[in-house]
């Protein structure tokens, strides 16, 4: 599944091509996405001018003038490409946002777990309500994590992946950040001290920033908006490396279950 760096990479890739453009039409070929596409969505968007593309968690926000905001989610296998609007659609090309310059923003989503949602002006969509702070924003730091974790019995990795705590820290980057911070992902969140949370927050920021700079992690289904893959995967220290030597101490990395998901850790470096 595309994680925050992949979504941010997509945002940066499409922004120069769509910002300031007028929407000629929205073509919906397959409305049965994760949530059914509102049949009024083409009407909401037609004739509007798109503003600066933003991101909230793993959602892309395309402001459409005074009418509202188009919210896009890539799901597990989705990608967005800027293409010639006359290019014939392939299988799984479910939606085209056709622009006034002859280009289109095309959503391809083989598994149909993505979404195209509408947020009327002056409202907050329910999918965005109740989200925690952005991990690269000013409200996220170790002191915040320490306060939020008090009394929490859940494993610290599950805590870190809770979107009500902090958004966009998925499985890959939680694994990497906990490795860098030297914290056992199985440890109860409420039993991690303030200084260790400060190291963890710094590690989260660093690993996400590096991944964004590298263009996102290459997974099975994700490509950047220009078609080129991300390259962060070659720098992963723990994720997907069970049985390999720890890059810090040389001991074999092991797999544990945290919240019904496998996680890789070093039994010596992470305590």
Residue 126, number of CB atoms within 10 A of its CB? 9
Annotation says 157 is catalytic: no
User: CB-side exposure of 165: number of CA atoms within 13 Å?
Assistant: 24
212 CA to centre of own chain: 11
The SS3 of residue 204 is: helix
List 2, 63, 135, 185, catalytic entry: 2
Gyration radius of the chain over CA positions: 20
Which sign, positive or negative, has the C-alpha torsion 128, 129, 133, 137?
A: positive
Annotation says 58 is catalytic: yes
List 11, 55, 58, 157, catalytic entry: 58
Q: Locate all alpha helices (DSSP H) within the chain, ordered by sequence.
A: 4-18, 41-45, 142-149, 156-160, 171-181, 194-214
| Straight-line distance from the first to the last Cα atom of the chain, in angstroms, rounded to the nearest whole number | 28
Annotation says 134 is catalytic: no
Annotation says 261 is catalytic: yes
List 3, 6, 8, 176, catalytic entry: 3
Residue 139, number of CB atoms within 10 A of its CB? 10
- Please provide the DSSP assignment of 125-136 as one string: -TTTTT----TT
CA-wise closest residue to 134 among 54, 42, 79: 54
List 12, 22, 186, 261, catalytic entry: 261
Which sign, positive or negative, has the C-alpha torsion 258, 155, 167, 122?
A: positive
User: Known catalytic residues?
Assistant: 2-3, 58, 261
């Amino acid at each position: 599944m595309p994680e925050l760096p992949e979504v941010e990479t997509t945002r940066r890739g499409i922004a120069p091509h769509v910002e300031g453009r007028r929407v000629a039409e929205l073509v919906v070929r397959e409305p049965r996405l994760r949530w059914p596409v509102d049949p009024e969505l083409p009407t909401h968007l037609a004739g509007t001018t798109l503003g600066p593309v933003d991101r909230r968690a793993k959602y892309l926000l395309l402001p459409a003038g005074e009418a509202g905001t188009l919210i896009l989610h890539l799901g597990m296998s989705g990608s967005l490409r800027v293409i010639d609007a006359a290019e014939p659609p392939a299988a799984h090309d479910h939606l085209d946002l056709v622009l006034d310059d002859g280009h289109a923003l095309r959503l391809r989503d083989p598994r149909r777990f993505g979404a195209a949602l509408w947020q009327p002006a002056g409202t907050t969509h329910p999918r965005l309500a109740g989200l925690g702070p952005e991990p690269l924003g000013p409200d996220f730091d170790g002191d915040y994590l320490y306060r939020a974790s008090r009394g929490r019995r859940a494993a610290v990795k599950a805590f870190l992946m809770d979107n009500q705590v902090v958004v966009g820290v998925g499985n890959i980057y939680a694994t990497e950040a906990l490795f860098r911070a030297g914290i056992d992902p199985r440890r109860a969140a409420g039993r991690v001290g303030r200084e260790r949370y400060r190291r963890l927050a710094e590690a989260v920021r660093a690993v996400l920033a590096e991944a964004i700079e590298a263009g996102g992690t290459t997974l099975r289904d994700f490509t950047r908006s220009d078609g080129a893959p991300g390259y962060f995967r070659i720098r992963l220290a723990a994720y997907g490396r069970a049985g390999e030597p720890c890059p810090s101490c040389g001991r074999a990395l092991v797999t544990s279950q945290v919240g019904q998901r496998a996680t890789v850790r070093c039994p010596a470096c992470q305590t």
